[in-house]
């Protein structure tokens, strides 16, 4: 794999794009045919093209998110330590949750009320939280779980050190073998049949919806975590990404055709029966087929996009770096803005596709402008990303890791690369 200090610019950009696509995903919801108003306020017009855009993004976006979170998590641990990763996750995830949780409580409830009734009435509510911040909640769960799992090893290691007075090499070897057992069986195959089966089982009870299923999310996280230490598979994805995406698009095409011919998605069946114990008796063969296609598409799209990102966009690019840096801010604040924008467009004599594009443009523009003027070079940027940037700042950039310096020497102090 790349050198220890190299930055994965392609995966950085891919992570940023996936975050920004949350705007597209949420802008599409009011125009999806048949979506229950209890899930999202809907317009009086709908669009099948918008629905296809939604289904495409929804199939792979969150699985890819968790894969990249696992990959970059392992990267930080390998370059620093577990303790540093725990501290970093606390600062970059737990604290933003504390800050933005009440912000969502102050904005989303009355915006939702306006979407349903057309009346503005401000009120505060935490009902339905964490809204779109559920991704951060689950990452926090993984962090806490890793701390809990480390305690037995540390305790046993301490005990053996006290008894023997030296490092218990056999213990370390045993834990390493156990840690590598799962990746060998599930995560290292170029044709990921085992991983698809595991994901299918882990996600079945929630119909593939990760928002209520940390176990399913955890499978994707572990795949990404394993991928960082799997150079053969990572290199293969960079060389053969097109094959993964070709099969994934074929799978998605069949998925769309089945949906357009009236086959119910598994989540429709499960949630319509309100998670009854006998909900599975309502599942027909075609519904189960759609579920299988959804899982296969999620895995193959994610693997293909990871390979594509590093193969074609693996070098430093100032624009993609800017979007990557701003994507976390955009992810945190976009939902109230895109929801209010789409709801304000309700009733206007415009095609739903036009409203959809307008909502994306207004929300994306607002998020980027606020990031550039109020976040990037301020304490908020330090709070979210751990560093403060000055504008686009395209000078004095490290060719290896992309770090920016105002008063640099000849080499980057982060990785030792030569500065542009």
Q: What is the pLDDT of residues 300-329, one digit of tens each?
A: 999 999 999 999 998 888 888 888 899 999
Instruction: Report residue 176 as tokens.
Output: 């390493």
Residues forming a β-bridge with 398: 419
Query: How does pLDDT run across 161-184, given as a tens digit for each residue?
Result: 555 555 555 555 555 555 555 555
> How open is the CA angle 184-192-303, to the nearest 5 degrees?
105
> What pLDDT sits at residue 266?
59
Cα–Cα distances in angstroms (integers) from residue 220 to residues 187, 252, 348, in the given order? 10, 19, 41
- Residue 31 CA neighbour count, 13 Å, CB half: 30
- List for the chain the helix, strand, coil content (%; round to 5): 70, 0, 25
Cα–Cα distances in angstroms (integers) from residue 85 to residues 133, 286, 308, 381, 402, in the given order? 20, 43, 27, 19, 21
In the predicted model, is pLDDT for residue 410 greater than 70? no
In the predicted model, is pLDDT for residue 20 greater than 70? yes
* Listed range (301-310, 317-326, 382-391, 409-418) with the worst mean pLDDT: 409-418
Residue 385: pLDDT band by 50, 70, 90 thresholds?
Answer: confident
Please give the residue that has the higher pLDDT: either 124 or 179.
124
- Phi, psi (5° rounding) for residue 265? -70, 150
Question: What's the pTM value of the predicted model, to 2 decimals?
Answer: 0.84
What is the C-alpha to C-alpha distance for residues 226 and 250, in angstroms, rounded to an integer? 27
In the predicted model, is pLDDT for residue 96 greater than 70? yes
Q: What is the mean pLDDT of residues 361-390?
A: 87
Residues 297/248, Cβ–Cβ less than 8 Å: yes
> What pLDDT sits at residue 173?
58
Q: Which of 145, 144, 141, 172 is nearest to 156 (CA)?
A: 172
Please give the residue that has the higher pLDDT: either 3 or 33.
33
> What pLDDT sits at residue 318?
85
In percent, the amount of the chain with pLDDT more than 70 equals 76
> What pLDDT sits at residue 246?
97
> What pLDDT sits at residue 406?
46
- Pick the most confident of 23-27, 148-152, 157-161: 23-27
How far is C-alpha 360 from the chain's CA centre?
19
> What pLDDT sits at residue 184?
58
In the predicted model, is pLDDT for residue 335 greater than 70? yes
> What pLDDT sits at residue 249?
97
Residue 237: pLDDT band by 50, 70, 90 thresholds?
Answer: very high
> What pLDDT sits at residue 37?
79
The dihedral formed by the CA atoms of 70, 74, 77 and 79, expressed in degrees to the nearest 10: -130
> What pLDDT sits at residue 64?
97
In the predicted model, is pLDDT for residue 419 greater than 90? no
Please give the residue that has the higher pLDDT: either 250 or 33.
250
In the predicted model, is pLDDT for residue 118 greater than 70? yes
Instruction: Report residue 139 as tokens.
Output: 């990452």
Q: What is the mean pLDDT of residues 195-207?
A: 87
- Phi, psi (5° rounding) for residue 419? -85, 140
What is the C-alpha to C-alpha distance for residues 292 and 376, in angstroms, rounded to an integer? 42
Residues forming a β-bridge with 404: 397
* Listed range (73-87, 160-174, 370-384) with the worst mean pLDDT: 160-174
* Listed range (17-26, 136-145, 274-283) with the worst mean pLDDT: 274-283
Please give the residue that has the higher pLDDT: either 257 or 149.
257
> What pLDDT sits at residue 277?
45
Residues 146/153, Cβ–Cβ less than 8 Å: no
Residue 170's CB: how many other CB atoms inside 10 A? 9
Residue 7: pLDDT band by 50, 70, 90 thresholds?
Answer: confident
In percent, the amount of the chain with pLDDT more than 90 equals 44
In the predicted model, is pLDDT for residue 271 greater than 90? no
> What pLDDT sits at residue 163?
56
> How open is the CA angle 186-187-188, to the nearest 5 degrees?
110
pLDDT, mean over the chain: 81
- Residue-wise over 295-311: b if at least 16 C-beta within 10 A, else e? bbbbbbbbbbbbbbbbb
């Amino acid at each position: 794999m790349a050198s220890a200090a190299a930055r994965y610019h392609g995966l950085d950009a891919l992570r940023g794009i996936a975050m920004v696509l949350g705007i597209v995903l949420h802008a599409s919801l009011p125009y999806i045919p048949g979506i229950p108003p209890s899930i999202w306020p809907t317009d009086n017009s709908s669009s099948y093209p918008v629905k296809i855009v939604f289904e495409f993004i929804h199939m792979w976006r969150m699985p890819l998110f968790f894969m990249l979170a696992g990959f970059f998590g392992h990267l930080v641990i390998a370059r620093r330590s577990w303790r540093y990763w725990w501290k970093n996750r606390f600062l970059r995830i737990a604290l933003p949750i504390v800050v933005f949780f009440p912000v969502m409580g102050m904005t989303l409830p009355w915006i939702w009320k306006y979407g349903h009734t057309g009346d503005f009435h401000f009120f505060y509510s935490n009902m339905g939280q964490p809204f779109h911040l559920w991704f951060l909640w689950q990452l926090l769960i993984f962090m806490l779980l890793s701390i809990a799992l480390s305690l037995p090893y540390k305790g046993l290691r301490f005990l053996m050190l006290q008894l023997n007075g030296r490092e218990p090499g056999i213990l370390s070897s045993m834990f390493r073998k156990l840690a590598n057992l799962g990746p060998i069986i599930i995560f290292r195959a170029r044709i990921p049949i085992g991983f698809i089966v595991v994901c299918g089982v882990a996600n079945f009870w929630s119909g593939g919806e990760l928002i209520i299923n940390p176990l399913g999310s955890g499978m994707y996280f572990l795949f990404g975590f394993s991928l960082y230490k799997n150079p053969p598979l990572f290199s293969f994805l960079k060389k053969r990404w097109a094959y993964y995406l070709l099969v994934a698009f074929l799978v998605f095409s069949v998925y769309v055709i089945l949906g357009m011919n009236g086959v119910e998605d598994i989540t429709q069946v499960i949630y319509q029966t309100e998670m009854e114990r006998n909900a599975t008796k309502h599942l027909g063969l075609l519904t189960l087929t759609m579920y299988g296609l959804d899982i296969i598409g999620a895995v193959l799209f994610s693997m293909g996009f990871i390979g594509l990102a590093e193969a074609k966009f693996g070098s430093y690019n100032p624009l993609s770096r800017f979007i990557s840096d701003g994507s976390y801010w955009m992810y945190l604040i976009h939902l109230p803005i895109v929801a209010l924008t789409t709801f304000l467009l309700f009733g206007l004599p415009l095609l739903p596709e036009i409203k959809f594009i307008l909502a994306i443009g207004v929300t994306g523009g607002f998020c980027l402008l606020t990031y550039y003027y109020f976040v990037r070079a301020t304490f908020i940027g330090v709070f979210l990303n751990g560093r403060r940037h000055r504008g686009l700042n395209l000078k004095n950039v490290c060719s290896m890791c992309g770090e920016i310096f105002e008063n640099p020497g000849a080499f980057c102090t982060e990785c030792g690369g030569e500065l542009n």
